[in-house]
Amino acid sequence: MLVRLIYCSRAQQPIDQALMDEILGASRKYNPAQGITGLLCYSKDIFMQVLEGSRAHVNRLYLKLARDDRHHSLTLLSFHEIEQRKFANWSMAEVALDKLNASLILRHSPLPMLEPFTMPGASAERLLEDLAESGSIQYR
Ligand SMILES: Cc1cc2nc3c(=O)[nH]c(=O)nc-3n(C[C@H](O)[C@H](O)[C@H](O)COP(=O)(O)O)c2cc1C
């Protein structure tokens, strides 16, 4: 059985390339063997990540992420069973939201900035889906 989990969090330090390299390095090392796919987007000091995979593996990863002191204030935005994946192409893709046209964020938010802590879970999910379809995905 497949699930999709979306959460947001606040980085302990300003998010820079070195931090993203570390996180994506670990994700791409561990996620394929666990059958986890997803997308990690960030803006200023905020992360928003979608994880797809088996319920057991996604839960285990979320518990691990909650213990990672590079971020805090983990907030579960959405968790549900799915019939099929929407982020199957990436073991973990990244999107730097600051570099995007603000109109994509405005589709789902009152202001042209990523504010997932106050966003309905369904809007967060649609924003991530739009990102996946927008061609903004970096996969280094
Ligand atoms: C925002 C964020 C997202 C992360 N995403 C993943 C991920 O998708 N997969 C993963 O294995 N680790 C991810 N990590 C890193 C894990 O928390 C952990 O450090 C890494 O898996 C190494 O685990 P280990 O110390 O047990 O070897 C992420 C960390 C942060 C801060």
Residue nearest to atom 14 of ligand 1 (CA): 23
Looking at domain 2-133, does it have CATH number 3.90.730.10? no
Atom number in ligand 1 closest to CA 65:
17
Domain locations in the chain as residue ranges: 2-133
* pLDDT tens-place string over residues 32-54: 999 999 999 999 999 999 999 99
Q: Where are the alpha helices (DSSP H) in 39-100?
A: 55-66
Q: What lines the ligand 1 site, CB under 6 Å?
A: 23, 26-27, 30-31, 40, 47, 49, 61, 64-65, 68, 70-71, 92
Residue 97 has pLDDT above 70, yes or no: yes
Residue 6: name the closest of 97, 103, 95, 78 by CA.
Answer: 78
Q: How far apart are the CA of 128 and the centre of ligand 1, in A?
A: 19
Contact status, residue 133 vs residue 122, Cβ threshold 8 Å = no
Contact (Cβ atoms closer than 8 angstroms) between residue 114 and residue 48: yes
> Average pLDDT, stretch 51-71?
98
